Amino acid sequence: MKKILTLQDLTQSSWGERFHDTFGANLQAAFLHGNCLYEGFDAIHESWQVSLILKSDKPSELQNSHKLAREMAKDNLKFGYFFTEEFLQTKQNDYPLEFLHISQKNAPLFGNAPLAGFTPNADALRAECKHELVNRKLHLLREFSRIQAGITPMDFFIEFHEELLPILHGIAYLQSSVYPQNRVEIYQKFPAFEVQEPPLDYKQNVERADQFFAALDQLIQSL
């Protein structure tokens, strides 16, 4: 069986019905979200992520997912998360950034779009973005130490960008109440984080890394 490589083919496929056949009345919605709906997704080497909204998330209600997951892999799909409507309604201040992404970038396969009309609490979103930036800084400092010991300078700068991109979407939304639609819009708001071909000179790479981390510190302090 060939992998499903385009969003159009997937949304027009029988997968929505198959999710309903598997989970029955317990299924409220099935939808795509995550990296598979953003620029740079490579359906040849990556999988489409499908999350479900269920009336009950008890393991006994999910046991049929085991066989289905094997079938999904043949078509290049994988399960994301199993939500309940109660979770989505009561955890909005705990996961405002994640819920913002889901509400703004999704493709329904069955049922209605998730988190329709969701507007994150600004204070909660700001706090999560700041927390995530601090965590990413710790991770990226570790990755910087691996240059010439497993990764190239370009690998590092690309990872720097990819690690920050979801958070930058949230911060951009905080600034304008508009969710960025592409990376160009992100670069316009945060030009300091745009990935460029690194110089060959080691010292220049270190100086560029200093600039990236200085911009990151400044962004953290602004929140």
What are 201-210's pLDDT values in tens digits? 888 889 989 9
Answer yes or no: do 181 and 147 share one domain.
Answer: yes
Domain of residue 71, residue span: 7-110
Answer yes or no: do 94 and 126 share one domain.
Answer: no
Question: How far is 103 from 123, CA to CA, in rounded Å?
Answer: 18
Whether 116 maps to a domain, the answer reads no
Q: Which regions of the chain are under pLDDT 70?
A: 1
Answer yes or no: do 96 and 181 share one domain.
Answer: no
Helix (DSSP H) and strand (DSSP E) numbers for the chain: 10, 4
Strand-pairing partners, residue 49, are 78
Q: Model pTM?
A: 0.92
Tokens of 26: 């317990």
Whether 1 maps to a domain, the answer reads no
pLDDT score for 44 = 92
Question: How far is 117 from 114, CA to CA, in rounded Å?
Answer: 9
Answer yes or no: do 91 and 164 share one domain.
Answer: no
| All residues at 6 or more sequence positions from 43 whose CB lies less than 8 Å from its CB, including other chains | 3, 4, 5, 6, 36, 76
Tokens of 38: 């953003």
Question: How far is 33 from 17, CA to CA, in rounded Å?
Answer: 18
Q: For tokens 């317990």, what's the residue?
A: 26
Answer yes or no: do 106 and 179 share one domain.
Answer: no
pLDDT score for 1 = 56
